[in-house]
Chains A and B, each alone.
Chain A
Amino acid sequence: MIICKDIHKKYRSGHLTKTVLRGVNFTINPTDRVGLLGRNGAGKSTLIKMIGGVEMPTSGAVTRSMTCSWPLGFHGAFQGSLTGYDNARFIARIYDKPYQEMREFVEEFTELGPQLRMPVKTYSSGMRARLAFSLSLAIDFDCYLIDEVIMVGDRNFQNKCRVEFFEKRKDRAIVLASHSAETIKKYCNRAIILHEGVATPYDDVGKAIKLYSKL
Chain B
Amino acid sequence: MRARSALRHFLDGWRVQKRVIHALMIRELHTRFGRDNIGFLWIMVEPLLFAGAVGALWTVVKGPQSHGMGIVAFVASGYIPLTFMRHSFSKAANVFVANGSLLYHRQIKITDFIFVRILIEAIGSMMAYVFLMLALYNFGLFPIPANPAMLIAGWSIYVLFVLSFCMIIAPLSEMSEVVEKFLPVSTYIAIPLSGTFNMASWLTPEARSYLLWSPLVSGMEMMRYGLFGSVVTPYYDVSRSVGISLVFLLIGLSLSRHVRRILVVQ
B residues whose Cβ falls under 8 Å from a Cβ of A: 19-20, 22-23, 26-27, 30-31, 100-108, 260-266
Contact = CB atoms under 8 A, between A and B. Distances in A.
B105 A55 contact: no
A82 B30 CA distance: 8
A79 B31 contact: yes
Interface in A22-57: 49, 52-56
Interface stretch (A88-96, A103-111, A192-200): A88-96
A75 B266 contact: yes
B20 A76 contact: no
A53 B107 CA distance: 10
Contacts of A91: 105
Nearest to B23: A93
A55 B264 contact: yes
B99 to A, nearest CB: 9
Contacts of A55: 263-265
Contacts of B265: 49, 54-55, 76
Contact of B31 (A11, A12, A82): A82
Contacts of B264: 11, 55
B42 to A, nearest CB: 16
B260 A56 contact: yes
Contacts of B261: 56, 58
A198 to B, nearest CB: 22
A91 B27 CA distance: 11
28 contacts: A12-B262, A52-B104, A54-B265, A55-B264, A55-B265, A56-B261, A56-B262, A70-B104, A70-B105, A71-B104, A76-B103, A76-B265, A77-B101, A77-B105, A78-B101, A79-B31, A79-B101, A82-B30, A82-B31, A86-B27, A86-B30, A93-B19, A93-B22, A94-B19, A94-B23, A94-B105, A94-B107, A94-B108
A96 B105 CA distance: 13
Interface of A: 11-12, 49, 52-56, 58, 70-71, 75-79, 81-82, 86, 90-91, 93-96
A93 B19 CA distance: 7
Contacts of A75: 101, 266
B80 to A, nearest CB: 28
A95 B30 CA distance: 19
Contacts of A53: 106
Closest 9 pairs (CB-CB, A-B): A93-B23, A70-B104, A77-B104, A53-B106, A56-B261, A76-B104, A94-B23, A76-B101, A75-B266
A69 to B, nearest CB: 9
A49 B264 CA distance: 10
Given A70-B104, A86-B30, 19 more contacts: A49-B265, A53-B106, A54-B103, A54-B104, A55-B264, A56-B262, A70-B106, A71-B104, A76-B100, A77-B101, A81-B31, A90-B23, A90-B26, A91-B105, A93-B22, A94-B19, A94-B20, A94-B108, A95-B107
A10 B128 CA distance: 47
A133 to B, nearest CB: 14
A133 B75 CA distance: 53
A161 B254 CA distance: 42
Nearest to A12: B262
A90 B19 CA distance: 10
Nearest to B27: A90
B120 to A, nearest CB: 16
